């Protein structure tokens, strides 16, 4: 074991809500797919699997995830582990997952080997940051090298030669970092954060928020709808007082958000369909939201239509968004899918979150590990769990069975390998899950074939169409409660 756990862990558990039918999220149905003449997305979404409540992503439960990343137009996501591995899932038609194929990967897959621009294999690259666009993915290594995969027709990835190579290979390859616009206008600035909406970009440097790109609906925050070809500081955050400067920025498709020096929430652009803040009356410059007055936040996220805020202190998550049809707000089973006003996500009350990232039709949360209430959340995909102990195959003495935190199967305390004397108060994984993870580690270190762990998981039983239909038989937390 490396450094011992502190009060402020740097890694967490990944939760997901919303659409998980990656090829279809946000798209109109094909003829004959829906038994109705009404084929709008709203109608359609009730025919496709989506997670109405936040689920723990099962394949990632035994990894220490330090970074979650998706984008307002992306139906794919990236997860980085504390040892610099990148895991991906989702839509992959343009090879945006960097796996060397264009097959859909519904569940997480580890990005195997990466390639240099000349096709040479590189290994032991440690990824420390990630950004996700509609059809591409950017990973940044600890040495500053930038890697990209996916569609390059808009020039998102740098230069033309590499773009050609990228399209041929669809693998994650090293790309030279060239961003002339940024270099010119922000040359002497230390940029700490860059975020992208549909056609606009924000950068944070010394608390000042710079914006450029498409200016429609006031998303750039300069009180006018003008497009900008180079970064321009937004007045609200450009003052000399640190308190009025920004500490964090986020971009949704047609809106932008920031936290100021007191961690207050600011919003501008078109963040609703109708009414104040909607297409008719977008917010042309940063404003605070009445409902969130007095709240202090540590993290914010903007999706296609969703807005998420993680409070600094209170163990809860606040989310809203008009026109959310894939349950990406995760309000819960049978609850409203869409909301014009900020609201707490009820099933997550009492849980401390660390970070959020919002995508097209789905939302990701990084949850502080070790919280008892985490065990109440369903895992995705939902599995059928054997009734017997997986070591001795006896279904007797169910109360002494320890449940695996990954696959939910039971093992008698006295059957655990290695043998445990008492119920551990940290995550515990069964012998079979532990072996599988170790095997994958060995396999992946010298082999870039497609035999990645999530290939196996993809063969698992169908994901839950409507939350978790089946809770595992015993509940380890009930043992804990008895002893309290």
Instruction: Kindly tell me which of 258 and 433 has the beta carbon lying closer to Zn ion.
Output: 433
Distance, CA of 368 to chain centre: 14
Comparing CB distances to Zn ion, the nearer of 58 and 136 is: 58
Strands (E), 271-385: 283-287, 297-302, 307-311, 318-321, 339-344, 353-358, 362-367, 379-380
The continuous run of DSSP H or E covering 89 comes out as: strand 86-90
412 sits near Zn ion (criterion: CB under 5 A):
yes
Q: Which of residues 332-391 bind Zn ion (CB under 5 A)?
A: 389, 391
Total chain residues near Zn ion (CB under 5 A):
10
Q: Give the sheet arrangement for strand 50-57, strand by strand.
A: 353-358, 362-367, 13-19, 50-57, 379-380
Nearer to Zn ion, 93 or 386 (CB): 386
Determine if 220 is a binding residue for Zn ion (CB under 5 A): no
**Residue in the block written with tokens 């979150």:** 353
- Report how far residue 196's alpha carbon sits from residue 253's, in angstroms, rounded to the nearest whole number: 8
Is 196 one of the binding residues for Zn ion (CB under 5 A)? Answer: no
Least Å distance between CB 404 and Zn ion?
3
> Residues 172, 404, 436, 474: which binds Zn ion (CB under 5 A)?
404
Nearer to Zn ion, 15 or 389 (CB): 389
φ, ψ (nearest 5 deg) of residue 2 = -80, -145
Note whether 141 binds Zn ion by CB under 5 A. no
Which listed range, 20-28, 246-254, 318-326, 425-433, lies at the site for Zn ion (CB under 5 A)? 425-433
Examine residue 433 and tell whether it contacts Zn ion (CB under 5 A): yes
Closer Cβ to Zn ion, 57 or 407, answer by number: 407
Q: Are residues 73 and 360 in contact, defined by beta-carbon separation less than 8 angstroms?
A: yes
Region of 16-24, 114-122, 341-349, 405-413 interacting with Zn ion (CB under 5 A) = 405-413
- Given the rule CB under 5 A, which of 43-51, 237-245, 326-334, 432-440 is the region that contacts Zn ion? 432-440
Q: Which of 154, 183, 392, 395 binds Zn ion (CB under 5 A)?
A: 392
What gap in Å lies between CA 112 and CA 203, rounded to an integer?
Answer: 31
Please list, in sequence order, all residues whose beta carbon lies within 8 angstroms of the beta carbon of residue 393, skipping any fewer than 6 positions away: none
Which pair of tokens denotes residue 438?
A: 């170790």
Contact between 14 and Zn ion by CB under 5 A: the answer reads: no
Which residues, 6 or more positions from 472, have their beta carbon under 8 angstroms from its beta carbon? 385, 403, 408, 410
97 binds Zn ion (CB under 5 A): no
Residue ranges binding Zn ion (CB under 5 A): 389, 391-392, 404, 406-407, 412, 415, 430, 433
């Amino acid at each position: 074991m490396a450094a011992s756990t502190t009060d402020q862990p740097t890694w967490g558990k990944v939760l997901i809500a919303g659409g998980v039918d990656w090829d279809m999220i946000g798209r109109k149905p094909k003829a004959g797919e829906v038994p109705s003449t009404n084929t709008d997305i709203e109608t359609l979404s009730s025919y496709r699997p989506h997670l109405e409540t936040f689920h723990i992503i099962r394949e990632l439960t035994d990894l220490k995830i330090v970074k979650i990343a998706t984008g307002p137009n992306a139906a794919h996501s990236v997860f980085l582990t504390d040892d610099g591995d990148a895991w991906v899932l989702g839509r992959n038609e343009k090879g945006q997952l960097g796996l060397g194929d264009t097959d859909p990967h519904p569940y997480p897959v580890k990005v195997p080997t990466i390639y240099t621009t000349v096709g040479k294999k590189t290994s032991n690259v440690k990824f420390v940051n990630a950004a996700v666009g509609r059809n591409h993915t950017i990973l940044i290594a600890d040495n500053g090298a930038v890697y990209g995969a996916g569609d390059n027709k808009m020039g998102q990835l740098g230069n033309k030669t590499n773009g050609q190579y990228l399209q041929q290979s669809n693998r994650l390859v090293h790309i030279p970092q060239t961003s002339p616009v940024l270099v010119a206008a922000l040359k002497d600035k230390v940029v700490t954060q860059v975020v992208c909406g549909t056609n606009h970009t924000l950068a944070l440097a010394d608390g000042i928020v710079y914006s450029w790109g498409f200016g429609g609906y006031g998303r750039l925050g300069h009180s006018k709808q003008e497009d900008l070809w180079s970064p321009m500081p937004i007045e609200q955050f450009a003052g000399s007082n640190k308190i009025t400067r920004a500490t964090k920025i986020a971009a949704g498709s047609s809106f932008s958000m920031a936290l100021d020096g007191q961690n207050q929430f600011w919003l501008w652009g078109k963040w609703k369909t109708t009414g104040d803040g909607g297409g008719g009356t977008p917010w042309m410059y940063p404003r605070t939201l009445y409902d969130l007055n007095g709240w202090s936040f540590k993290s914010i996220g903007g999706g296609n239509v969703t807005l998420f805020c993680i409070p600094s202190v209170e163990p809860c998550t606040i989310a809203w968004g008009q026109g959310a049809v894939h349950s990406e707000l995760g309000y819960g089973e049978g609850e409203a899918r869409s909301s014009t006003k900020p609201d707490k996500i009820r099933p997550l009350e009492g849980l401390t979150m660390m970070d959020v990232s919002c995508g097209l039709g789905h939302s990701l949360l990084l949850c502080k590990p070790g919280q008892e209430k985490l065990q109440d959340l369903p895992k995705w995909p939902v599995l059928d769990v054997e009734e017997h102990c997986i070591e001795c195959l006896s279904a007797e003495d169910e109360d002494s069975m320890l449940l695996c935190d990954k696959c939910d199967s039971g093992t008698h305390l006295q059957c655990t390998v290695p043998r445990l004397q008492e119920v551990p108060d940290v995550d515990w994984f069964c012998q079979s899950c532990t072996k599988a993870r170790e095997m994958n580690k060995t396999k992946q270190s010298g082999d870039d074939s497609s035999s990645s762990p999530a290939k196996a998981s993809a063969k698992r039983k169908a994901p839950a169409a409507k939350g978790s239909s089946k809770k595992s038989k015993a509940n380890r937390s009930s043992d804990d409660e008895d002893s309290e």
